[in-house]
Amino acid sequence: MEKLVITGGNALHGTVPISGAKNAALPLMCASLLSDEPLTLENLPRLADITTLTDLLNHLGVTVTIEGGKGGRMTGRNLTFDAKNINDTVAPYDIVRKMRASILVLGPLVARAGEAIVSLPGGCAIGNRPIDLHLKALEKLGAKIDVEQGYVRASAPEGLKGGRVRFPFVSVGATENILMAASLAKGTTIIENAAREPEIADLAACLNAMGARIKDAGHETITVEGVDRLHGATHAVMPDRIEAGSYAVAALMTRGDLLLEGARADDMQATLDTLADAGGIVSVEEDGVRIKSNGHVKGFNLVTQPFPGFATDMQAQFMALACVAEGASVITEAIFENRFMHVSELCRLGADITVTGSSATVRGARFLKGAPVMATDLRASMGLALAGLVAEGETHVNRLYHLDRGYERLEEKLRAVGANVDRVPG
């Protein structure tokens, strides 16, 4: 297995091109199942999760072809997904177990093909990741749901019917699944307490380009007028707000100055506000967002929340920042039950962190010392890489496959702005 070898101490300066968003790309790819005409997605990032989902879509009968990229700022690939012939409605365990977002084929498949049999995703490092909200919402649209032998079977041979779905708490994936299913349901669907993450609006924009009739995506209540069929479209994936936020933290931690090219400030306001609390100088420019250090990092407090609150996917990165802040920080993880796996690894670098329940108190301003550390999940591994950028000496981040799931060309982008980082065989 490969690892990152990082020698800390360099301030990062320059421009980081932000890739298409993983968490927008995955549901967008599943949306291709809703139509018998091709869907072209532009600016897709080159990530392991995209490859895994492409394998699953191929298994279901979707043909995927690479289109020439437009070049320029959009560094991603353009892929065309043609679901004209769906010849299987089973998403098998050996693919789904690799990536829980595979559950996002459930809604589109049952809406288009009248049936979907999807392996239960199972948990992952950050929690047991249930899908009860997905299933209850599909039942509200008339799907019959059975769970047996580790698989969910959803069937609606007569098609789905519009209905009222009210989520007891916010779920990004469940909102996305029901948004896609409702697009082809007969009648109107009202989704209440919907997730408001920017990726939801991006998905709705693509579905509407395909002929769906969705109103108020990105707000708490979304209305969907079902249509008989969806046609093909071309849609550019939105920039990755979590990748952008991760590099923004790098700029502040290393006392540098980075332009996050293509980043959209409105997608990441809570992140930018917390960076400013910690001493960052944030400026919105024509081609992106710039983060400069004022030479100091102050302690801060944060609680993870659904959008527009502070993103749970940014928690590990900010914990790394807190490790080198002057003063103490209190970080509370209110979304996932086990998203502090990076704490013990950061302590191996000399951090001073105490966890009490869902809160971590970080006493900062300690000098971190490089050491071998183990990545446990995608965002935790980015937190460790960030800590390695400021730790004295070498930090070896092992199990790089976690990072490769969500960060495109990480070492290349870091080296381009002055980091001393290499990918070497583990």
Among 9, 127, 159, 350, binds ligand EPZ (CB under 6 A): 127
Integer Cα distance of 412 and 408 in angstroms:
9
Pick between residue 126 and residue 368 the one whose CB is nearest to ligand EPZ: 126
**Any catalytic annotation for residue 206?**
no
Whether 291 contacts 281, CB under 8 Å? yes
Pick between residue 290 and residue 402 the one whose CB is nearest to ligand EPZ: 402
Integer Cα distance of 185 and 110 in angstroms:
10
Closest CA to 53 of 1, 109, 100, 116: 100
Pick between residue 274 and residue 312 the one whose CB is nearest to ligand EPZ: 312
Pick between residue 89 and residue 304 the one whose CB is nearest to ligand EPZ: 304
Whether 343 contacts 323, CB under 8 Å? no
Instruction: For residue 241, state whether it binds ligand EPZ (rule: CB under 6 A).
Output: no
Instruction: For residue 131, state whether it binds ligand EPZ (rule: CB under 6 A).
Output: yes
- State in angstroms the smallest separation of the CB of 148 from ligand EPZ: 18
Looking up tokens 């959008």 gives: 307
Integer Cα distance of 145 and 258 in angstroms:
49
Any bridge partners for residue 233, and if so which?
Answer: 39
Pick between residue 299 and residue 383 the one whose CB is nearest to ligand EPZ: 383
Instruction: For residue 23, state whether it binds ligand EPZ (rule: CB under 6 A).
Output: yes
SS3 of 310-342: the string is ECHHHHHHHHHHHHCCECEEEEECCCCCCCCHH
Q: Return the DSSP state at 17.
A: E
- State in angstroms the smallest separation of the CB of 52 from ligand EPZ: 11
**161 Cβ contact partners less than 8 Å away, ≥ 6 residues apart:** 141, 142, 185, 186, 187
Among 51, 58, 88, 130, binds ligand EPZ (CB under 6 A): 130
Instruction: For residue 336, state whether it binds ligand EPZ (rule: CB under 6 A).
Output: yes
Among 152, 154, 156, 172, binds ligand EPZ (CB under 6 A): 172
Instruction: For residue 171, state whether it binds ligand EPZ (rule: CB under 6 A).
Output: yes
Integer Cα distance of 173 and 410 in angstroms:
26
Choose the binding region for ligand EPZ from 126-134, 287-295, 318-326, 390-398 (rule: CB under 6 A): 126-134
Whether 367 contacts 397, CB under 8 Å? no
Among 196, 379, 402, 413, binds ligand EPZ (CB under 6 A): 379
State the catalytic residues: 124
State the residues that interact with ligand EPZ by CB under 6 A.
22-23, 26, 101, 127, 129-134, 171-174, 312-313, 335-336, 378-379, 406
